[in-house]
Amino acid sequence: MGKSKDRSKILVIHGPNLNMLGKRETDIYGKSTLDEINADLKKMGEKAGLLVETFQSNHEGAIVEKIQQAVGKHSGLIINPAAFTHTSIAIRDALLLLDIPVIEVHISNIYKREPFRHTSMISDVATAIIAGFGAYGYTMALDAIAGIIHP
């Protein structure tokens, strides 16, 4: 595979419980399902000349391994670590391996929620943070990454 194709790959990682979007706490997380969000991102990516790969796991180690596998293979990462945002030094450390734009996304505004959600282990290593825009935050993140890698 040519280097230009490698540069156009964007990885989107969804953390724990995000596979239940559209079913759980719709007043906070909205009614969009993860499949709908992923399909929208892939369509948007095609229009922007990007190949969007999506991944969801409820397991911290699987997320760490997926980040490690992205080294040298992806041009950008969008990550919603979900509950691991507040607890995972392992995910943070894995992100330090990457030399690509990393955008942290949260469907809800974590700073308007319970105090334990106000701390992110990820934010200081992310290129940018998008929070509180619902599922649209993923679209904003993909648009931002496209602008960063193809100015």
Q: Is 136 a catalytic residue?
A: no
Active-site annotation holder among 14, 74, 106, 138: 106
Decide: helix, strand or coil at residue 105.
Answer: strand
Active-site annotation holder among 14, 29, 74, 138: 29
Report d(CA 67, CA 25) in Å as an integer: 28
Report residue 10 as tokens.
């964007």
Give the Å distances, CA to CA, from 47 to 41, 77, 148.
10, 18, 16
Report residue 68 as tokens.
């490690």
Name 76's bridge partners: 10
Report d(CA 145, CA 32) in Å as an integer: 22
DSSP string, 52-90: EEEEE-S-HHHHHHHHHHHTTT-SEEEEE-GGGGGT-HH
* Residues known to be catalytic: 29, 106
